[in-house]
Structure 1
Amino acid sequence: MAPTPVRPVRERILAAAGEAFYREGIRAVSADKIIAAAGTTKVTFYRYFPTKDNLVEAYLDQQSERIREAAGNLPDDPCRALAALAQAMGDETCRPGFRGCPFINAAAEYPEAEHPVRIAVARHRDWFRALVAELAGRLGAQNPGLVADQLIMLRDGAMVHGYVSDPALVGDSLLQAGGAVLQQHIPAIRPA
């Protein structure tokens, strides 16, 4: 039997941090806990991440990259793409250990808008808003930014609802509510 390859140290640190941050909350997790979980030393940890905030930013950027990669597989049809996003969010809320959106969670723990962690959150949310606005624009929305804002508000509420209530309701409810928003803004989608 071949030995299991050892992951690079930076990757191990990020993996340990990501699991702990998501499960326990960012501020509740110490650097020492991450160092122990990653099986490294303080010197090595701080060589890769001079501050815990640098690690939190890297964690959020990694989460954003994972979502961006998944978005690269969306259907070409904008209506189907928006439906796929809603379905993916519903699926996400039903997975074991779901604790809400990592970006909303991080924003709640770092209230200062100019903090580097909040800037990382804003960077992801700006990208996501641009994606949703582009899809809404392709559907014919007159004000795709407004449609994106409304759909993202629904998404944010769905993420919180999936954490504090019944996650099984999120997917279908998000699709229905999103459809109602689209019907308000896109003439071709209005019911007969």
Structure 2
Amino acid sequence: MSVIEMKPVRERILDAAIEHYYAEGIRAVSADKLIAAAHVSKVTFYRHFPTKDDLVAAYLQSRSDEEKDVVTARREESPDDPAAVLRWYAEIVGEASCSPGFRGCPFINAAAELPGDDHPGRAIISEHRAWLTGQIAELLGQLGVTDTAVKAEQIMMLRDGAMVSGYLGRAPEQVATQLVSGARSLIGR
């Protein structure tokens, strides 16, 4: 039995979706491709994910949970240094967006592919962006910045642009430095 086949079935299917949806796009990946990658039968696949929408929602929730865990852990490591947490986030955005295989923010990519606002993945995307924007607003508040909601939204826009900039070939340090510089301009520090 291979290492892949030793994992629980649902996890194998989700791992295949994470890999292929991000690398190739949600619409481009068929259920048959994921069934083959996960080493499961069609019956087993559909028992765990009755529709593609169910799997897309699970994929997005998994990506959201992963980012939430990382950000939460970092905030817990530096509870009294919000500036360090914001700098760290800028650095990981720079590193991620310049790394091989980076194809942009998985949530923005999915939003571009999902039809209509009623898709279950849209709610996960909205909730995740609201959570991340809220984290930034809380950190700005700890720094004594006023109008944190508006400034957090603006920093999210800078973050989105930084990811595109990195994807287009900038060095990780450049992306992080420019993201920090832009954020400082917005908050007046």
Residue 79, structure 1, aligned to residue 83, structure 2: yes
User: What secondary structure, in the 3-state scheme, does the structure 1 residue paired with 2:73 have?
Assistant: coil
- Residues 98 and 167 in structure 2, CA contact (< 8 A), matched pair in contact too: no
Residue 56, structure 1, aligned to residue 56, structure 2: yes
Instruction: Give the TM-score taking structure 2 as reference length.
Output: 0.91
- Residues 23 and 103 in structure 2, CA contact (< 8 A), matched pair in contact too: yes
CA 1:82–1:111: 2 relative to 1, 3 Å: farther
> What letter matches 2:19 in structure 1?
E
Q: Deviations over 1:79-98 (max 9, x none)?
A: 11111111111111122200
Shift of 1:165: 3.6
| One of 80, 91, 95 as aligned partner of 1:91 | 95
**Of 106-115 and 13-22, the range deviating more from structure 2:** 106-115
**Unpaired segments ≥5 residues, structure 2:** none
Q: Give me the CA root mean square deviation.
A: 1.5
**Unpaired segments ≥5 residues, structure 1:** 184-188
Q: Kindly, what percent of the aligned residue pairs are identical?
A: 49
Q: Distance in 2 between matches of 1:16 and 1:65?
A: 17
Q: Find runs of 4+ consecutive structure 1 residues off by over 2 angstroms.
A: 164-169
Alignment of 1:69-148 (within 5 A): 69-74=69-74, 75-76=78-79, 77-148=81-152
Q: Which has the higher contact order (CA 8 A, sep 6+)?
A: 2
Shift of 1:34: 0.4
How many residue pairs get aligned? The number is 182
Which residue of structure 2 aligns with residue 170 of structure 1? 175
Shift of 1:73: 2.4
- Residues 93 and 167 in structure 1, CA contact (< 8 A), matched pair in contact too: no
Alignment of 1:32-47 (within 5 A): 32-47=32-47
